[in-house]
Every structure is written in structure tokens, then in C-alpha cells.
Amino acid sequence: MINLQEQQAVKSITTAVVNVNGCKIAEGYIKEGVTYVLVRAVAEALGASVGFNAATRTVEITSSR
């Protein structure tokens, strides 16, 4: 069950859509001026590959360009 404070927070979320070359590739949200989207969706749409380095807890985006 969602309490009133959580319910108000959910209502105030602003959604964001990411388009690459006119094609929708990801949906996310905007919170406090920062846009959050899935990095894998954006990177792969731009032709890059994505990996995760567990030792450093780092996302690594690699492009052949």
C-alpha cells in the first residue's frame, strides 16, 4: 500500500522520452533537473556497446568510432 507522501511523489514525476534519429529508444524521468534513462538503450542506439566492471562498479561504453 502506498502512503500519501509516496503517492504525492509518484504524481510529481516528469517523464522523458529519448529519440535517436526520430526513433523512440528509451523512456525515463526527470528529477530535480536531471534526466534518468537506461544507459544501455541510449548507447546501443548510437552504435556503442555497454559493459559493467564489477570491481570498480563502473559502466563502460565502447564505440568503434
Give pLDDT, residue 13.
74
Write down the H helix ranges in the chain.
4-11, 39-45
Give pLDDT, residue 3.
57
Q: How many CB atoms lie within 10 A of CB 44?
A: 16
The helix, strand and coil proportions of the chain, stated in percent and rounded to the nearest 5, come to 25, 45, 30
Give pLDDT, residue 41.
92
Give pLDDT, residue 39.
92
The parts of the chain modelled with pLDDT lower than 50 are: none
Burial class (CB in 10 A: 0-12, 13-18, 19+), 41: middle
Q: In terms of Cα–Cα distance, which of 15, 9, 19, 61 is closest to 35? A: 15
Give pLDDT, residue 5.
55
Give pLDDT, residue 10.
58
